[in-house]
């Protein structure tokens, strides 16, 4: 679904009011189009005295008031148009202009015209970028969602760790239950014990795992050769030599 285009009329009471059927500026999505500004003093709506340089300075101040009101700035201006009543004023206009656009120089068109409103010597318009507060809010929401997802992942990891711990506890309980017997074989299902039993050598050496427990029951030395048999699903060690 296509996103809705934002169109907003910009009107800053601190800047010179429009003297015709136009707006100070119009914002379309993240682009701001500022109408041509001349050297009006906002309080009196009179042209600033002092010639082209003074008018340029006042026109750019007016431009800045509108940019700021719309959430933009001189640094975000991407293009300007400079209209001159006399091309002979080009150098002094540039000198003032450079003070406002020293760090980030936008694209520009400058040319002489036959006349300007109110007998002005200079008129300057601009196109600028605008910060979108809604996007910032969306980014914050996305960050919150990411944090929630991370928390969920952490919870899942904790649950998995708990399950692993429970499994380990169950395994430990099987080893300790009954006070002895061979690990694995003693607690395997009976049919599996029979399969394992046929694979055991006869006689088979008493290993550490099988030796734990039966030695205490029968007193079998650790090095004694013996065989194991199934008794009530438990492994019992039977020495093939005389017990000590």
How many of the other CB atoms lie within 10 Å of CB of 20? 6
- Does some domain include residue 228? yes
| Mean of per-residue pLDDT scores for the chain | 74
d(CA 241, CA 244): 9
Residue 17 has pLDDT above 80, yes or no: yes
Please report the pLDDT score of residue 156 as a whole number. 55
Assess whether 120 and 12 both reside in one domain: yes
Does residue 144 form part of some domain? Answer: no
DSSP 178: G
Mean pLDDT of 163-170: 54
45 in any annotated domain:
yes
Same domain, 89 and 201: no
At 103 the pLDDT is 86
Assess whether pLDDT exceeds 70 at residue 38: yes
Q: How many domains does the chain have?
A: 2
- For residue 146, tell me if it sits in a domain: no
- Residues 100, 191 within the same domain: no
Given the DSSP bridges, would you call strands 77-84 and 107-112 parallel, antiparallel or unpaired? parallel
pLDDT at position 95: 98
Domain boundary among 97, 131, 165: 131
Backbone angles phi, psi at 143, to 5 degrees: -65, -40
Residue 81 located in a structural domain: yes
DSSP structure class, residue 13: T
DSSP state of 29: T
Does the residue 140 lie in any domain?
A: no
Identity of the highest mean pLDDT range in 59-68, 136-145, 172-181, 223-232: 59-68
Same domain, 206 and 123: no
Per-residue DSSP letter, 133:
H
Same domain assignment for residues 214 and 98: no
Cis peptide, bond prior to residue 203, ω within 30 of zero: yes
240 located within any domain: yes
What's the CA dihedral at 35, 41, 43, 44 to 10 degrees? -110
| Mean pLDDT score, 109-133 | 94
Q: Would 168 be classed as within a structural domain?
A: no
**CATH no. for residue 100?**
3.30.1330.40
Angle at 173 (CA atoms; ends 167, 177), nearest 5 degrees: 155
Q: How confident is the model at residue 86 (pLDDT cuts 50, 70, 90)?
A: very high
Q: In angstroms, rounded to a whole number, what is the distance separating the alpha carbons of residues 60 and 74?
A: 9
Q: At what angle do helices 52-69 and 90-100 cross, to 10 degrees?
A: 30
The answer on 25 and 93 residing in a single domain is yes
The answer to whether residue 84 scores a pLDDT higher than 70 is: yes
Structure token pair of residue 199: 């694979």
User: Of 116, 112, 127, 129, nearest to 20 (Cα)?
Assistant: 116
224-235 mean pLDDT: 43
Proportion of the chain above pLDDT 70, given as a percent: 53
For residue range 156-165, what is the model confidence (pLDDT) as tens digits? 555 555 555 5
196: containing domain: 177-244
- Among 106, 131, 156, identify where a domain stops: 131
Confidence label for 8 from pLDDT (cuts 50, 70 and 90): very high
Please identify, among 131, 150, 168, the residue that sits at the C-terminal boundary of a domain.
131
């Amino acid at each position: 679904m296509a996103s809705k285009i934002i169109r907003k009329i910009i009107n800053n009471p601190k800047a010179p009011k429009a003297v015709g059927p136009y707006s100070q500026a119009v914002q379309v999505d993240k682009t701001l189009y500022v109408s041509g500004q001349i050297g009006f003093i906002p309080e009196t709506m009179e042209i600033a005295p002092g010639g082209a340089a003074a008018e340029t300075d006042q026109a750019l101040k007016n431009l800045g008031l509108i940019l700021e009101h719309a959430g933009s700035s001189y640094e975000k201006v991407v293009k300007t148009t400079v209209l001159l009543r006399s091309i002979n004023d080009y150098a002094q206009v540039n000198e003032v202009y450079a003070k406002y656009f020293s760090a980030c120089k936008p694209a520009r068109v400058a040319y002489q015209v036959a006349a300007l409103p109110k007998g002005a010597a200079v008129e300057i318009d601009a196109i600028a970028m605008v910060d979108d507060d809604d996007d910032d809010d969306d980014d914050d929401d996305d960050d919150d969602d990411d944090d929630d997802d991370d928390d969920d992942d952490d919870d899942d990891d904790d649950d998995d760790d708990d399950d692993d711990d429970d499994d380990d506890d169950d395994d430990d309980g099987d080893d300790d239950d009954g006070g002895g017997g061979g690990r694995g074989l003693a607690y395997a299902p009976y049919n599996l014990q029979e399969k394992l039993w046929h694979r055991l050598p006869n006689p088979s050496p008493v290993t550490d795992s099988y030796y734990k427990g039966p030695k205490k029951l029968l007193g079998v030395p650790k090095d004694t050769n013996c065989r194991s048999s199934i008794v009530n699903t438990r492994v019992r060690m039977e020495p093939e030599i005389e017990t000590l």
